[in-house]
Amino acid sequence: QQPVQSPQAVILREGEDAVINCSSSKALYSVHWYRQKHGEAPVFLMILLKGGEQKGHEKISASFNEKKQQSSLYLTASQLSYSGTYFCGTESAGGGNKLTFGTGTQLKVEL
């Protein structure tokens, strides 16, 4: 079963912040975040492991709440280059590096 992402779409003005959520009904071992620009391949952003710390990548960071099986991606001071579709990929315990991807969150950053 696919993890649920929210919101489905968001429009920001440059410099604004956004939070994208990913929720699973299964016990998770890891959560992976990817960004995909229109017509391109998904590109890896970060991995969060069960028991691990919050990760950061420039002005993009993420957290993993193991009890709730949820992960959140935080984009601060958004830039035009942040536009794209963000996917979470979840791995269940014993999943063998198989990821189940959410349906994506479309983010558009405008001037």
Structure tokens that stand for 91 in this block? 């791995």
Query: Which residues inside 11-40 make contact with other proteins, applying CB under 8 A?
Result: 29-30, 32, 40
Rank residues 81 and 96 by Cβ distance to other proteins and give the closer one. 96
Stretch that binds other proteins, among 9-17, 58-66, 75-83, 99-107 (CB under 8 A): 99-107
CB of 101 to other proteins, least distance (A): 4
